[in-house]
Protein backbone atom coordinates (compact mmCIF):
# COMPACT_ATOMS: atom_id res chain seq x y z
CA UNK A 1 0.00 0.00 0.00
CA UNK A 2 1.20 3.51 -0.80
CA UNK A 3 2.04 5.30 2.46
CA UNK A 4 0.77 8.88 2.28
CA UNK A 5 -0.34 11.47 4.80
CA UNK A 6 -4.07 11.10 5.56
CA UNK A 7 -6.46 13.37 3.67
CA UNK A 8 -7.61 16.56 5.38
CA UNK A 9 -11.22 17.70 5.30
CA UNK A 10 -12.60 21.14 6.13
CA UNK A 11 -16.27 22.09 6.03
CA UNK A 12 -17.10 25.78 5.73
CA UNK A 13 -20.02 27.39 7.54
CA UNK A 14 -22.17 27.23 4.38
CA UNK A 15 -21.59 23.48 4.03
CA UNK A 16 -18.97 23.58 1.28
CA UNK A 17 -16.47 20.76 1.80
CA UNK A 18 -12.76 21.06 0.97
CA UNK A 19 -10.71 17.87 0.97
CA UNK A 20 -7.08 17.39 0.02
CA UNK A 21 -4.39 14.76 0.09
CA UNK A 22 -0.71 15.63 -0.07
CA UNK A 23 1.42 13.30 -2.19
CA UNK A 24 5.11 13.84 -1.29
CA UNK A 25 7.46 13.82 -4.25
CA UNK A 26 4.98 15.31 -6.71
CA UNK A 27 5.56 18.70 -8.31
CA UNK A 28 2.02 18.98 -9.69
CA UNK A 29 -1.48 19.28 -8.28
CA UNK A 30 -4.86 18.02 -9.42
CA UNK A 31 -7.85 20.08 -8.39
CA UNK A 32 -11.56 19.74 -9.03
CA UNK A 33 -14.93 21.26 -8.28
CA UNK A 34 -17.34 18.34 -7.94
CA UNK A 35 -21.09 18.93 -7.94
CA UNK A 36 -23.52 16.25 -6.79
CA UNK A 37 -25.90 17.00 -9.65
CA UNK A 38 -25.82 15.25 -13.00
CA UNK A 39 -28.35 14.10 -15.55
CA UNK A 40 -30.36 12.12 -12.98
CA UNK A 41 -31.70 15.26 -11.28
CA UNK A 42 -33.10 16.68 -14.52
CA UNK A 43 -36.86 17.02 -14.85
CA UNK A 44 -38.37 15.73 -18.08
CA UNK A 45 -38.27 19.15 -19.74
CA UNK A 46 -34.63 19.58 -18.68
CA UNK A 47 -33.21 16.60 -20.57
CA UNK A 48 -29.58 17.46 -21.36
CA UNK A 49 -29.34 20.70 -19.38
CA UNK A 50 -26.73 19.47 -16.87
CA UNK A 51 -24.39 18.67 -19.76
CA UNK A 52 -25.18 21.95 -21.53
CA UNK A 53 -24.36 23.87 -18.34
CA UNK A 54 -21.03 22.10 -18.09
CA UNK A 55 -20.23 23.19 -21.66
CA UNK A 56 -21.40 26.75 -21.14
CA UNK A 57 -19.23 27.21 -18.06
CA UNK A 58 -16.24 27.44 -20.38
CA UNK A 59 -17.78 30.03 -22.70
CA UNK A 60 -16.98 33.14 -20.74
CA UNK A 61 -17.34 34.76 -17.33
CA UNK A 62 -17.61 38.33 -16.14
CA UNK A 63 -13.79 38.48 -16.00
CA UNK A 64 -12.68 36.10 -18.75
CA UNK A 65 -13.61 35.26 -22.31
CA UNK A 66 -13.73 31.62 -23.40
CA UNK A 67 -10.36 32.05 -25.09
CA UNK A 68 -8.79 33.65 -22.03
CA UNK A 69 -9.91 30.72 -19.84
CA UNK A 70 -7.95 28.16 -21.85
CA UNK A 71 -5.04 30.49 -22.68
CA UNK A 72 -4.40 31.27 -19.00
CA UNK A 73 -4.28 27.66 -17.93
CA UNK A 74 -2.23 26.53 -20.93
CA UNK A 75 0.19 29.45 -20.53
CA UNK A 76 1.44 27.73 -17.37
CA UNK A 77 1.43 24.28 -19.00
CA UNK A 78 -1.71 23.10 -17.24
CA UNK A 79 -4.89 21.56 -18.54
CA UNK A 80 -8.55 22.03 -17.70
CA UNK A 81 -11.68 20.08 -18.55
CA UNK A 82 -15.06 18.95 -17.26
CA UNK A 83 -17.41 15.99 -17.43
CA UNK A 84 -21.07 15.26 -16.72
CA UNK A 85 -22.25 11.86 -15.49
CA UNK A 86 -25.61 10.58 -14.35
CA UNK A 87 -25.11 11.70 -10.76
CA UNK A 88 -22.26 14.25 -10.72
CA UNK A 89 -20.65 17.04 -12.71
CA UNK A 90 -16.93 17.69 -12.35
CA UNK A 91 -14.76 20.65 -13.37
CA UNK A 92 -11.06 19.89 -12.96
CA UNK A 93 -7.54 21.08 -13.69
CA UNK A 94 -3.97 19.84 -13.32
CA UNK A 95 -1.10 22.28 -12.89
CA UNK A 96 2.31 22.64 -11.30
CA UNK A 97 2.30 23.38 -7.58
CA UNK A 98 2.94 27.12 -7.90
CA UNK A 99 0.04 27.51 -10.33
CA UNK A 100 -2.61 25.96 -8.09
CA UNK A 101 -4.02 29.37 -7.03
CA UNK A 102 -4.52 30.26 -10.71
CA UNK A 103 -6.29 26.97 -11.40
CA UNK A 104 -8.60 27.48 -8.44
CA UNK A 105 -9.34 31.06 -9.51
CA UNK A 106 -10.31 29.89 -13.01
CA UNK A 107 -12.43 26.98 -11.77
CA UNK A 108 -14.24 29.20 -9.29
CA UNK A 109 -14.80 31.79 -12.00
CA UNK A 110 -16.40 29.39 -14.48
CA UNK A 111 -18.58 27.72 -11.83
CA UNK A 112 -19.82 30.86 -10.09
CA UNK A 113 -19.56 33.70 -12.62
CA UNK A 114 -20.34 32.39 -16.11
CA UNK A 115 -22.45 34.79 -18.17
CA UNK A 116 -24.19 32.40 -20.64
CA UNK A 117 -24.22 34.95 -23.44
CA UNK A 118 -26.94 34.25 -26.05
CA UNK A 119 -24.50 34.08 -28.98
CA UNK A 120 -22.27 31.67 -27.09
CA UNK A 121 -25.29 29.58 -26.11
CA UNK A 122 -26.39 29.28 -29.75
CA UNK A 123 -22.90 28.19 -30.84
CA UNK A 124 -22.55 25.67 -28.01
CA UNK A 125 -25.91 24.12 -28.86
CA UNK A 126 -24.48 23.51 -32.33
CA UNK A 127 -21.37 21.91 -30.77
CA UNK A 128 -23.53 19.57 -28.69
CA UNK A 129 -25.55 18.63 -31.77
CA UNK A 130 -22.24 17.56 -33.30
CA UNK A 131 -21.46 15.58 -30.15
CA UNK A 132 -24.84 13.85 -30.33
CA UNK A 133 -24.23 13.06 -34.01
CA UNK A 134 -20.81 11.60 -33.18
CA UNK A 135 -22.41 9.25 -30.65
CA UNK A 136 -24.94 8.16 -33.26
CA UNK A 137 -22.04 7.18 -35.53
CA UNK A 138 -20.38 5.08 -32.80
CA UNK A 139 -22.01 1.67 -32.31
CA UNK A 140 -20.58 0.94 -28.87
CA UNK A 141 -21.75 4.36 -27.62
CA UNK A 142 -25.23 3.73 -29.01
CA UNK A 143 -25.49 0.28 -27.50
CA UNK A 144 -24.73 1.53 -23.98
CA UNK A 145 -27.16 4.44 -24.23
CA UNK A 146 -29.80 2.03 -25.50
CA UNK A 147 -29.04 -0.36 -22.65
CA UNK A 148 -29.80 2.40 -20.15
CA UNK A 149 -33.02 3.15 -22.03
CA UNK A 150 -34.06 -0.50 -21.89
CA UNK A 151 -33.16 -0.86 -18.21
CA UNK A 152 -34.71 2.40 -16.99
CA UNK A 153 -37.44 3.19 -19.50
CA UNK A 154 -38.98 6.68 -19.18
CA UNK A 155 -36.76 7.61 -16.22
CA UNK A 156 -33.82 10.01 -15.88
CA UNK A 157 -31.33 7.11 -15.67
CA UNK A 158 -32.70 5.86 -18.98
CA UNK A 159 -32.05 9.09 -20.88
CA UNK A 160 -28.90 10.15 -22.71
CA UNK A 161 -26.72 12.54 -20.73
CA UNK A 162 -26.30 14.66 -23.86
CA UNK A 163 -30.00 15.25 -24.40
CA UNK A 164 -31.56 15.29 -27.86
CA UNK A 165 -31.31 17.81 -30.69
CA UNK A 166 -34.81 18.99 -29.82
CA UNK A 167 -34.34 19.26 -26.05
CA UNK A 168 -31.01 21.08 -26.31
CA UNK A 169 -32.35 23.48 -28.93
CA UNK A 170 -35.11 24.61 -26.58
CA UNK A 171 -33.00 25.68 -23.62
CA UNK A 172 -32.69 29.36 -22.77
CA UNK A 173 -30.24 31.30 -20.64
CA UNK A 174 -32.94 31.49 -17.97
CA UNK A 175 -33.29 27.68 -17.97
CA UNK A 176 -29.57 27.24 -17.38
CA UNK A 177 -29.44 29.85 -14.63
CA UNK A 178 -32.41 28.23 -12.91
CA UNK A 179 -30.76 24.80 -12.94
CA UNK A 180 -27.55 26.36 -11.64
CA UNK A 181 -29.33 28.10 -8.74
CA UNK A 182 -31.17 24.95 -7.68
CA UNK A 183 -28.31 22.49 -7.84
CA UNK A 184 -24.96 24.28 -7.54
CA UNK A 185 -25.30 24.87 -3.81
CA UNK A 186 -22.59 24.70 -1.15
CA UNK A 187 -23.93 21.60 0.58
CA UNK A 188 -23.71 19.61 -2.66
CA UNK A 189 -20.29 20.81 -3.83
CA UNK A 190 -16.88 19.38 -2.93
CA UNK A 191 -13.53 20.99 -3.73
CA UNK A 192 -10.99 18.18 -3.91
CA UNK A 193 -7.25 18.33 -4.54
CA UNK A 194 -4.34 15.90 -4.51
CA UNK A 195 -0.63 16.14 -5.15
CA UNK A 196 1.58 19.05 -4.11
CA UNK A 197 -1.03 20.61 -1.82
CA UNK A 198 -0.97 22.94 1.17
CA UNK A 199 -4.39 22.32 2.73
CA UNK A 200 -4.55 25.49 4.83
CA UNK A 201 -3.68 27.68 1.84
CA UNK A 202 -6.26 25.82 -0.25
CA UNK A 203 -8.97 26.43 2.36
CA UNK A 204 -8.13 30.14 2.50
CA UNK A 205 -8.28 30.46 -1.31
CA UNK A 206 -11.52 28.45 -1.59
CA UNK A 207 -13.15 30.53 1.15
CA UNK A 208 -12.35 33.68 -0.80
CA UNK A 209 -13.21 32.46 -4.30
CA UNK A 210 -16.43 30.64 -3.46
CA UNK A 211 -17.94 33.26 -1.17
CA UNK A 212 -20.79 33.79 -3.66
CA UNK A 213 -21.79 30.13 -3.76
CA UNK A 214 -25.28 29.93 -2.24
CA UNK A 215 -25.89 27.73 0.78
CA UNK A 216 -28.21 24.77 0.44
CA UNK A 217 -28.31 20.99 0.51
CA UNK A 218 -28.39 18.35 -2.19
CA UNK A 219 -31.70 17.70 -3.92
CA UNK A 220 -33.00 14.18 -3.45
CA UNK A 221 -32.41 11.91 -6.42
CA UNK A 222 -35.52 10.48 -8.09
CA UNK A 223 -35.95 6.81 -7.27
CA UNK A 224 -35.03 4.51 -10.15
CA UNK A 225 -36.82 1.28 -11.07
CA UNK A 226 -35.46 -1.41 -13.36
CA UNK A 227 -37.90 -2.07 -16.20
CA UNK A 228 -36.03 -4.24 -18.70
CA UNK A 229 -36.82 -5.10 -22.27
CA UNK A 230 -35.10 -4.80 -25.60
CA UNK A 231 -33.97 -1.84 -27.69
CA UNK A 232 -32.83 -2.65 -31.23
CA UNK A 233 -31.17 -0.28 -33.68
CA UNK A 234 -31.12 -1.61 -37.24
CA UNK A 235 -28.03 -0.42 -39.14
CA UNK A 236 -26.05 -1.73 -42.12
CA UNK A 237 -22.91 -2.66 -40.16
CA UNK A 238 -20.31 -5.40 -40.39
CA UNK A 239 -20.85 -6.47 -36.77
CA UNK A 240 -23.61 -6.57 -34.18
CA UNK A 241 -22.85 -4.75 -30.93
CA UNK A 242 -24.81 -6.14 -27.99
CA UNK A 243 -25.12 -5.25 -24.30
CA UNK A 244 -27.13 -7.13 -21.68
CA UNK A 245 -27.85 -6.09 -18.10
CA UNK A 246 -29.59 -7.38 -15.00
CA UNK A 247 -30.78 -5.30 -12.04
CA UNK A 248 -28.04 -5.18 -9.42
CA UNK A 249 -27.13 -3.40 -6.20
CA UNK A 250 -26.48 0.31 -5.77
CA UNK A 251 -23.11 1.83 -5.01
CA UNK A 252 -23.86 2.14 -1.29
CA UNK A 253 -25.20 -1.41 -0.86
CA UNK A 254 -23.41 -3.82 1.50
CA UNK A 255 -23.29 -6.38 -1.33
CA UNK A 256 -21.59 -4.11 -3.86
CA UNK A 257 -18.15 -5.69 -3.29
CA UNK A 258 -19.55 -9.15 -3.95
CA UNK A 259 -21.22 -7.89 -7.13
CA UNK A 260 -17.99 -6.25 -8.32
CA UNK A 261 -16.06 -9.45 -7.66
CA UNK A 262 -18.60 -11.45 -9.66
CA UNK A 263 -18.52 -8.99 -12.60
CA UNK A 264 -14.71 -9.16 -12.61
CA UNK A 265 -14.47 -12.95 -12.61
CA UNK A 266 -17.21 -13.06 -15.23
CA UNK A 267 -15.67 -10.64 -17.71
CA UNK A 268 -12.90 -8.59 -16.14
CA UNK A 269 -9.89 -9.77 -18.11
CA UNK A 270 -8.44 -12.42 -20.38
CA UNK A 271 -8.64 -15.06 -17.65
CA UNK A 272 -12.34 -14.36 -17.04
CA UNK A 273 -15.05 -16.91 -17.66
CA UNK A 274 -16.63 -15.12 -20.59
CA UNK A 275 -13.34 -14.32 -22.33
CA UNK A 276 -12.25 -17.93 -22.07
CA UNK A 277 -15.62 -19.42 -23.07
CA UNK A 278 -16.82 -16.92 -25.67
CA UNK A 279 -13.57 -15.90 -27.37
CA UNK A 280 -10.92 -18.51 -26.64
CA UNK A 281 -13.08 -21.63 -26.81
CA UNK A 282 -15.77 -20.63 -29.34
CA UNK A 283 -14.27 -17.71 -31.30
CA UNK A 284 -17.57 -15.79 -31.16
CA UNK A 285 -16.04 -12.34 -30.68
CA UNK A 286 -12.81 -10.37 -30.45
CA UNK A 287 -13.52 -8.97 -27.01
CA UNK A 288 -16.14 -9.46 -24.29
CA UNK A 289 -16.35 -7.65 -20.95
CA UNK A 290 -18.59 -7.54 -17.90
CA UNK A 291 -19.32 -4.59 -15.62
CA UNK A 292 -21.02 -3.62 -12.37
CA UNK A 293 -22.39 -0.08 -12.61
CA UNK A 294 -23.46 1.36 -9.28
CA UNK A 295 -25.85 4.28 -8.92
CA UNK A 296 -27.55 5.55 -5.79
CA UNK A 297 -30.06 2.90 -4.80
CA UNK A 298 -29.69 0.66 -7.84
CA UNK A 299 -27.12 -0.82 -10.20
CA UNK A 300 -26.62 -2.87 -13.34
CA UNK A 301 -24.62 -6.06 -13.82
CA UNK A 302 -23.93 -6.25 -17.54
CA UNK A 303 -21.96 -7.69 -20.43
CA UNK A 304 -20.84 -6.09 -23.70
CA UNK A 305 -19.52 -7.74 -26.86
CA UNK A 306 -19.58 -7.47 -30.65
CA UNK A 307 -19.80 -10.27 -33.17
CA UNK A 308 -20.60 -11.24 -36.75
CA UNK A 309 -24.33 -11.11 -37.64
CA UNK A 310 -24.55 -14.88 -38.09
CA UNK A 311 -23.13 -15.46 -34.58
CA UNK A 312 -25.23 -13.03 -32.51
CA UNK A 313 -27.84 -15.56 -31.33
CA UNK A 314 -25.12 -18.00 -30.25
CA UNK A 315 -23.24 -15.17 -28.53
CA UNK A 316 -26.22 -14.02 -26.48
CA UNK A 317 -27.15 -17.58 -25.61
CA UNK A 318 -23.65 -18.46 -24.41
CA UNK A 319 -23.35 -15.24 -22.39
CA UNK A 320 -26.62 -15.89 -20.58
CA UNK A 321 -25.81 -19.54 -19.94
CA UNK A 322 -22.27 -18.88 -18.73
CA UNK A 323 -23.40 -16.03 -16.48
CA UNK A 324 -25.99 -18.27 -14.84
CA UNK A 325 -23.46 -21.09 -14.50
CA UNK A 326 -20.86 -18.80 -12.94
CA UNK A 327 -23.35 -17.59 -10.32
CA UNK A 328 -23.54 -21.13 -8.95
CA UNK A 329 -20.13 -22.57 -9.81
CA UNK A 330 -17.48 -19.84 -9.59
CA UNK A 331 -14.56 -21.10 -7.54
CA UNK A 332 -12.44 -19.71 -4.73
CA UNK A 333 -9.54 -19.47 -7.19
CA UNK A 334 -11.61 -17.30 -9.55
CA UNK A 335 -12.84 -15.13 -6.69
CA UNK A 336 -9.31 -14.67 -5.31
CA UNK A 337 -8.10 -13.69 -8.77
CA UNK A 338 -10.91 -11.16 -9.13
CA UNK A 339 -10.12 -9.70 -5.71
CA UNK A 340 -6.47 -9.34 -6.74
CA UNK A 341 -7.49 -7.47 -9.90
CA UNK A 342 -9.74 -5.08 -7.98
CA UNK A 343 -7.19 -4.61 -5.21
CA UNK A 344 -4.36 -3.88 -7.64
CA UNK A 345 -6.53 -1.54 -9.68
CA UNK A 346 -7.34 0.53 -6.60
CA UNK A 347 -3.73 0.65 -5.41
CA UNK A 348 -2.44 1.60 -8.87
CA UNK A 349 -5.00 4.40 -9.10
CA UNK A 350 -3.58 5.87 -5.88
CA UNK A 351 -0.42 6.76 -7.80
CA UNK A 352 -2.41 9.24 -9.90
CA UNK A 353 -3.24 12.61 -8.35
CA UNK A 354 -6.29 13.19 -10.56
CA UNK A 355 -7.72 9.80 -9.64
CA UNK A 356 -7.11 10.54 -5.96
CA UNK A 357 -8.90 13.89 -6.08
CA UNK A 358 -11.81 12.31 -7.95
CA UNK A 359 -12.01 9.48 -5.41
CA UNK A 360 -12.01 11.85 -2.43
CA UNK A 361 -14.80 13.97 -3.89
CA UNK A 362 -17.01 11.08 -4.88
CA UNK A 363 -16.69 9.47 -1.46
CA UNK A 364 -18.01 12.64 0.15
CA UNK A 365 -20.79 13.12 -2.41
CA UNK A 366 -21.95 9.49 -2.33
CA UNK A 367 -21.23 8.36 1.24
CA UNK A 368 -20.87 11.62 3.12
CA UNK A 369 -17.55 10.44 4.56
CA UNK A 370 -14.02 9.49 3.56
CA UNK A 371 -13.14 5.82 3.28
CA UNK A 372 -9.44 5.07 3.08
CA UNK A 373 -8.13 2.55 0.61
CA UNK A 374 -7.01 0.14 3.33
CA UNK A 375 -10.58 -0.11 4.64
CA UNK A 376 -11.99 -0.65 1.15
CA UNK A 377 -9.43 -3.39 0.49
CA UNK A 378 -10.16 -5.00 3.86
CA UNK A 379 -13.89 -5.04 3.07
CA UNK A 380 -13.16 -6.50 -0.37
CA UNK A 381 -10.92 -9.23 1.04
CA UNK A 382 -13.54 -10.12 3.66
CA UNK A 383 -16.10 -11.17 1.03
CA UNK A 384 -16.57 -14.93 1.15
CA UNK A 385 -17.19 -17.43 -1.63
CA UNK A 386 -20.69 -18.01 -0.29
CA UNK A 387 -21.40 -14.27 -0.36
CA UNK A 388 -20.34 -14.00 -4.00
CA UNK A 389 -22.55 -16.98 -4.88
CA UNK A 390 -25.51 -15.57 -2.96
CA UNK A 391 -25.16 -12.08 -4.45
CA UNK A 392 -24.78 -13.39 -8.01
CA UNK A 393 -27.68 -15.80 -7.65
CA UNK A 394 -29.99 -13.04 -6.39
CA UNK A 395 -29.09 -10.96 -9.43
CA UNK A 396 -29.54 -13.83 -11.89
CA UNK A 397 -32.74 -15.16 -10.35
CA UNK A 398 -34.48 -11.77 -10.49
CA UNK A 399 -35.58 -12.79 -13.99
CA UNK A 400 -35.68 -9.33 -15.54
CA UNK A 401 -33.27 -8.52 -18.34
CA UNK A 402 -32.37 -5.53 -20.50
CA UNK A 403 -30.76 -5.96 -23.90
CA UNK A 404 -29.64 -3.52 -26.56
CA UNK A 405 -28.22 -4.31 -29.96
CA UNK A 406 -27.18 -2.45 -33.08
CA UNK A 407 -26.54 -4.14 -36.41
CA UNK A 408 -28.12 -5.56 -39.56
CA UNK A 409 -31.86 -6.25 -39.59
CA UNK A 410 -31.29 -9.90 -40.50
CA UNK A 411 -29.24 -10.45 -37.35
CA UNK A 412 -31.43 -8.57 -34.89
CA UNK A 413 -34.56 -10.49 -35.82
CA UNK A 414 -33.03 -13.68 -34.45
CA UNK A 415 -32.78 -12.22 -30.96
CA UNK A 416 -36.52 -12.71 -30.42
CA UNK A 417 -35.90 -16.40 -29.90
CA UNK A 418 -33.47 -15.91 -27.01
CA UNK A 419 -35.05 -12.98 -25.19
CA UNK A 420 -38.01 -13.12 -22.79
CA UNK A 421 -39.45 -9.77 -23.96
CA UNK A 422 -40.58 -8.87 -27.44
CA UNK A 423 -37.96 -6.55 -28.95
CA UNK A 424 -38.93 -2.89 -29.02
CA UNK A 425 -37.47 -1.00 -31.99
CA UNK A 426 -35.53 2.19 -31.33
CA UNK A 427 -36.92 5.34 -32.88
Residue 425, pLDDT score: 43
**DSSP string covering 133-158:** HHHHT-HHHHHHHHHHHHHTTTSGGG
Note whether 306 and 286 are within 8 A (CB).
yes
In angstroms, the CA 61 to CA 57 distance is 8
pLDDT of residue 52: 99
pLDDT of residue 424: 46
**Catalytic residue (one of 42, 46, 54, 145):** 54
In this prediction, residues 257-275 reach a mean pLDDT of 98
Determine the average pLDDT of the residues in 12-41. Answer: 98
Chain segment 149-184, per-residue pLDDT in tens? 999 999 999 999 999 999 999 999 999 999 999 999
What is the average pLDDT value for the chain, to the nearest integer? 95
- Predicted local distance difference test score (pLDDT) of residue 422: 43
User: In whole angstroms, what is the distance from residue 238 CA to residue 407 CA?
Assistant: 7
Greatest extent of the chain over all pairs of C-alpha atoms, in Å? 63
pLDDT-based confidence at residue 1 (cuts at 50, 70, 90): low
pLDDT digits (tens, 9 = 90+) for 394-421: 999 998 999 999 999 989 988 866 766 4
pLDDT over threshold 70, residue 226: yes
- List pLDDT tens digits, range 119-140: 999 999 999 999 999 999 999 9
pLDDT at 420 (0 to 100): 62
- Read off the pLDDT band of 82 (50, 70, 90): very high
397 is catalytic: no
- Write the Ramachandran bin of 404: left for phi over 0, alpha for psi from -120 to 50, otherwise beta: beta
Beta-carbon neighbour count of residue 220 at 10 Å? Answer: 8
Supply the DSSP symbol for 60.
B
Pair 216, 185: CB distance under 8 Å: yes
Summarize the confidence of residues 93-103 as an average pLDDT.
98
What is the pLDDT at residue 426? 45
Q: What percent of the chain has pLDDT over 90?
A: 93
**Structural domains for the chain:** 8-209 (3.30.830.10), 229-425 (3.30.830.10)
The answer for residues whose C-beta is within 8 angstroms of residue 240's C-beta and 6 or more apart is 306, 307, 308, 309, 312, 405, 406, 407, 408, 411, 412
Amino acid sequence: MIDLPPPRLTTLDNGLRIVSERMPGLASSSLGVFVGAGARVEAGHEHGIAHLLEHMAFKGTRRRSARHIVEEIEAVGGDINAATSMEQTAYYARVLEDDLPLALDILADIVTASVFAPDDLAREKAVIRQEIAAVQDTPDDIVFESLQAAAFTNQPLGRSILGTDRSVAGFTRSDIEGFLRRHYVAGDVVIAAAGAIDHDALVADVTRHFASLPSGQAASLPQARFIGGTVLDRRDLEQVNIALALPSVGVEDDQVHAARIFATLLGGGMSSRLFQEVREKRGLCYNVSAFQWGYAGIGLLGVHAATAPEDVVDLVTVIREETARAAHECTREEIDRAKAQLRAGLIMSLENSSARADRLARQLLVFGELRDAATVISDLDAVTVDEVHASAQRIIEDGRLALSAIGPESALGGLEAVMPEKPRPQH
